[in-house]
A = this chain, B = another copy of it.
Amino acid sequence: MEILRTIEEVRKLAARWRQAGERIALVPTMGYLHAGHLSLVKEAKQRAERTVVSIYVNPTQFGPNEDLDKYPRDFARDEASCREHGVDAVFYPDNAVMYAPDHSTWVVEESLSQTMCGLSRPTHFRGVTTVVLKLFNIVGCDVAVFGRKDAQQALIIQRMVRDLNIPVEIVVAPLIREEDGLALSSRNKYLNADERQRALSISAGLRSAASQFDAGERSAEALAATVRTAIEAAGGRVDYVVVMARTTLRPLPLVNAPAVLAAAAFFGKTRLIDNIFLDP
């Protein structure tokens, strides 16, 4: 497995693969890899002859008061995980490689990113779309795999790819949970034992709402209230609980079309997100 620190190294290796007629899959990550990321790697390996994992804590997708500095990092462990899972190359750039001091070009998605996480993190998605397009262009990948835990992010990236005619196939792989229901996230590391226990209220609330939905409940307000109540009863601070149309992320007061029920909440200082799909 190759560890690549510069754009030139990546381009050289990717060109060699392409010349050999090999397809390239990219799994963009911020590192601190967990089973969710590794499920993306497995998916990637089924889609292409070569798999690249990028590990880069992208500063431009963090707000000024967010957790950029304390975001968990463990490159040695990530490297071992990638090696073990048959990754061909890890792209591990530093900030000077990724952003010129006078960087001034951004990719902005102006519709899907105006809601949900976009409200409390107004520059987050612009950082995501910009760095993802950069990674696509650096690697020249044929396919890229993202996780459905970040449902809004995946949708925004699919929109970007469509709108800018980016020749990359986007695969969105299932959300992976701990056995007790907690959605896997690198940020789970921030939780102490008590917070972690209380954070289970998010997935438990979503599961309750799904049961209600299966029993015939179609009111977005009622479904969201179930989740909100569960989180607040566990002492969480809700950022949002919403029911949105699956492709437009517009509010869907009555769930009569494919929808996503999504939640974001703080436990202690840690902000967690989770979601389920509702299919009437």
List residues 157-200 of chain A with CB under 8 A from any CB of chain B.
159-160, 162-167
Binding site for B on A (CB under 8 A): 7, 11, 100, 102-112, 129-130, 133-134, 137-138, 140, 159-160, 162-167, 248
Would you call B7 and A165 a contact (CB within 8 A)? yes
**Which of B104, B108, B109, B167 contacts A140 (CB under 8 A)?**
B167
Cross-chain contact A164 with B110 (CB below 8 angstroms): no
B-side contacts of A103, CB under 8 Å? 163
- Select A107's contact among B105, B137, B138, B159, beta carbons within 8 Å: B105
Residues of B within 8 A of A11 (CB): 167
Residue A160 contacts which of B102, B105, B159, B163 (CB distance < 8 angstroms)?
B105
Q: Identify the interface centre among A108, A134, A164, A248: most chain B CB within 10 Å of its CB.
A: A164
Pick from B104, B162, B167: contact of A111, CB under 8 Å:
B104
- Nearest 6 CB-CB pairings of A with B: A104-B111, A105-B163, A137-B165, A105-B160, A105-B109, A134-B165
Closest chain B CB from A86 CB (angstroms)? 26
> Which residues of chain B have C-beta atoms less than 8 A from A166's C-beta?
137
The residue on B at minimum CB distance from A166 is B137
CB distance A162 to B100 under 8 Å?
A: yes
Q: How far is the CA of A118 from the CA of B104 in the complex (A)?
A: 15
5 residue pairs bridging A and B, Cβ less than 8 Å apart: A102-B111, A103-B163, A105-B110, A105-B160, A107-B164
A51: shortest Cβ distance to chain B, in Å? 20
Q: Are A138 and B165 in contact (CB under 8 A)?
A: yes
Q: A106-B108, A110-B106 are in contact. Are A100 and B130 (CB under 8 A)?
A: no
- Give the shortest distance, in Å, between A142 (CB) and chain B (any CB): 12
Asked, given contacts A138-B165, A164-B137, A165-B138, whether A159 binds B106 with beta carbons under 8 Å apart, the answer is no
Q: Closest CB-CB distance, A33 to chain B, in whole Å?
A: 24
Query: What's the nearest-Cβ distance from chain B to residue A168, in Å?
Result: 9
Contact yes or no, A164 B130, CB < 8 A: yes
**Cross-interface CB contact of A159 among B105, B129, B130, B159, cutoff 8 Å:** B105
Q: Give the nearest-CB partner of A134 in chain B.
A: B165
How far apart sit A162 and B102, CA to CA, in the bound complex (Å)? 11
Q: 13 additional contacts, CB 8 Å, given A105-B160, A134-B165?
A: A7-B165, A100-B162, A100-B163, A102-B248, A105-B129, A105-B159, A106-B110, A107-B108, A107-B164, A108-B108, A130-B164, A137-B164, A137-B165
